[in-house]
Chain A
């Protein structure tokens, strides 16, 4: 079972009845797995993490056990409800499952969610494999309900996407729901909020005791010459690199279990802290007065691995790591970065934008790949929704070129609407493009408010991006088929010239999701091809070129027809091939 499936299983066994979230690698499959337990569990993709968090908080206030799932950067969006929910407290247990991405496999930054636990003064659990992911979810739920506090369960890419064996148990029967009126508990206006602030600190003292006695934290005594404090996936690497060392393994890692740390630190000769990303544990252990080694030997950037920790071990022991040469046969291999899929409907839009000297502020999704050469048509990416708002800021600052903002459909609903509202309200002039492929593609094709389907597969209203645009005060709203290259070029040119803000929705379903070709496969006729290489500007992985004439790989071609429209020599056609 994957770590994510195990987290979902844990939530199910803990009697959770409400699960919410917004897709984000590596967290996405938690909620997808939990949704399989419908109708016992109600699950939804919310428009964004803040909404998801608040929906779960509402359920919890009524007494239901709930979870909310997101990736690390999603917690920034949901930080607002988190920071005050710890004041007003929860009734039914609430666990926020947040997945970090050390190494930035699929993320724009490498922030360490453990900081949020301390920031919001909420307990933190860190599983190191799938069995723990399930067990800790249940423990977290107990702690949450016992102390009426939201809890963070922090996973990482390697915990979420690794599989290991998990023993299953029965589901705990859910309790009854019904909000018990108690304004001095649930309404943090200053007169009631100040005592909440006080209670928050008192609760932390109790939680520290709880962490010190928790089965999630344990000391493994082995050789006492070296003792290692570690948590999460780093524990697994430590066990292979230092099989002989004593280990304090923290699974319930905030509030810091000081009594355990003291007991461990005073029982060993030399102390090392091995943690992925920030040096949170190390700084704390040092603040308790122990001379701990950590960041000096263990890298704080990127993910850890057995190999990196072997180098740490060598450094710690004062010997050089034997540097073995990489195989000469593996030199100068052509890189294979991710690319827009063959037949991707976004491709033509980037190609068309390439014809204009404009600035493009982009956003997060498959279309981030439009930043790579040769499409090379994205100048910035900040965070979800910023594709729209930053375009507006750049335009207001007096950028001499026209500014185009690009977001995807799911991103538009996530946090694009407020940016568009700003443009409509504050008399902006940017051209905003929504690349609407009818799904949240990058994370594996989840539904969203525009798709007309819920997470559980039920039909629902498909909300219109165009109508949102008009409601935000944008008068020039266009819908265009991105596979029609001439019309796409024309739409973009027309809107760039207009002296008013506009919204162009390029709509075509993601062929990867539809699992079918867009049209008939194309072939290059070598007799007509002039070798001008214009078709290569599309960066379609199906068009292969090694110095003679381009050829289209029939296995990959999705038949979108863009290359045929680009080719000035008429060399690309369907030639009757299905």
Chain B
């Protein structure tokens, strides 16, 4: 166990399942024997707004919040949310972005524009990028709701937690009847190249 604190940021839109993904991650780190702190957004921000969950683990963690340019991995379930929190990712950090656009009301109203060059922006912004279709992958496995766990699987590639810790954490965090599905979803993300 090295002395370093690992920080992870998960971002998305309220209701996409970011909180469950961060719970699994925190649990996996705990099972692996680390001190863990997480922070999540409640209240106002959950009504369809941008949400982030932050997870930090290591031998001893103080702040639950991630400092700028320090996250090892940034996982985003929505494309522009990845860019919104890009600032938190370390320069050599891994970005995992779900190829999904959720158009904010500000765009529908005509008050703002959804960047049309989003994909090329992502490739430019993140030297290390996994750009995946998590929703479609989850749908193929049987339930689109598991997109968050597919994403987490890809996120896990940038972290040093063992397979068993992940599996145990998933089993402990989701309902029995969704266990198989979520384990498969995680594996799909983890083995993605």
Enumerate chain A interface residues (CB-CB to B < 8 A): 25-26, 28, 105-106, 129, 158, 161-165, 233, 235-237, 239-240, 305-307, 310, 324, 326-327, 329-330, 332-341, 366, 369, 373-374, 442-444, 536, 539-541, 543-546, 550, 553, 555
Contacts and interface: CB of A to CB of B under 8 A. Distances in A.
Interface string B79-98: 01101101100000000000
B48 A541 contact: yes
Contacts of A324: 69
Interface in B112-126: 112-115, 121-122, 124-125
Nearest to A369: B47
Nearest to A104: B44
Interface stretch (B101-109, B150-158, B161-169, B185-193): B101-109
Given A164-B38, A165-B35, A374-B109, 7 more contacts: A162-B39, A163-B39, A329-B125, A332-B113, A336-B104, A543-B108, A545-B107
A373 B81 CA distance: 22
Contact of A335 (B36, B42, B48, B112): B112
B143 to A, nearest CB: 13
Closest 8 CB pairs of A and B: A106-B43, A25-B43, A334-B112, A162-B64, A329-B125, A338-B49, A338-B47, A306-B67
Nearest to A305: B65
A300 to B, nearest CB: 19
A338 B105 CA distance: 9
Most-contacted residue by chain B among A158, A324, A334, A541 (CB, 10 A): A334
B107 A546 contact: yes
Contacts of B102: 553
A539 to B, nearest CB: 5
A239 B62 contact: yes
B14 A338 contact: yes
A237 B42 contact: no
A329 B121 CA distance: 6
Contacts of B111: 334, 373
A550 to B, nearest CB: 7
Contact of B64 (A236, A341, A443): A236
A539 B109 contact: yes
Contact of B108 (A161, A239, A444, A550): A550
Given A163-B26, A330-B125, A334-B106, A443 B43 contact: yes
B44 A338 contact: yes
A444 B36 contact: no
A168 B144 CA distance: 37
B100 to A, nearest CB: 10
Interface string B26-58: 100010000111111111111111100000000
Given A161-B39, A162-B37, A546-B114, A339 B49 contact: yes
Nearest to B89: A327
A369 B47 CA distance: 9
20 contacts: A26-B43, A129-B37, A158-B65, A161-B42, A162-B38, A163-B37, A163-B40, A164-B61, A237-B63, A239-B63, A305-B65, A324-B69, A330-B83, A332-B112, A334-B107, A336-B81, A338-B46, A539-B105, A541-B48, A545-B103
A410 to B, nearest CB: 14
A307 B87 CA distance: 12
Nearest to B39: A162
Nearest to B100: A555
A129 B38 CA distance: 11
B20 to A, nearest CB: 13
Contact of A158 (B45, B64, B109): B64
B121 A240 contact: no
Interface of chain A, main secondary structure: loop
Contacts, number: 166
Interface string B123-146: 011000000000000000000100
B170 interface: no
Given A105-B44, A105-B45, A545-B103, A336 B39 contact: no
Nearest to B54: A162
Contacts of A306: 63, 65, 67
A505 B188 CA distance: 50
Nearest to A550: B108
A444 B43 CA distance: 7
A310 B70 CA distance: 13
B126 to A, nearest CB: 9
Contacts of A305: 63, 65, 67
B117 to A, nearest CB: 9
Contacts of A327: 83, 86-87, 125
B38 A165 contact: no
B13 interface: yes
A330 B68 CA distance: 14
A505 to B, nearest CB: 23
B95 to A, nearest CB: 11
Contacts of B109: 373-374, 536, 539, 545
B67 to A, nearest CB: 4
A488 to B, nearest CB: 21
A102 to B, nearest CB: 12
Contact of B86 (A26, A233, A307, A329): A329
Contacts of A550: 108
Contacts of A442: 43-44, 47
A336 B43 contact: no
A546 B86 contact: no
Given A329-B124, A340-B47, A334 B114 contact: yes
Contact of B105 (A105, A330, A339): A339
Given A25-B43, A106-B45, A546 B103 contact: yes
Contacts of A240: 62-63, 67
Nearest to B125: A329
Given A333-B83, A544-B108, A550-B108, A164 B48 contact: no
Contact of A165 (B30, B44, B46, B124): B30
Of A162, A305, A555, most buried by chain B (CB within 10 Å of CB) is A162
A339 B109 CA distance: 13
Interface centre among A327, A329, A374 (most CB of B within 10 A): A329
A236 B62 contact: yes
A88 to B, nearest CB: 35
Contact of A337 (B39, B62, B103, B106): B106
Contacts of B13: 336
Nearest to A162: B64
Contact of B36 (A164, A235, A236, A326): A164
Nearest to B45: A338
Nearest to B23: A163
Contacts of B65: 158, 237, 305-306
A236 B26 CA distance: 19
Nearest to A26: B42
A249 to B, nearest CB: 12
B87 A158 contact: no
A374 B109 CA distance: 7
Contacts of B30: 165
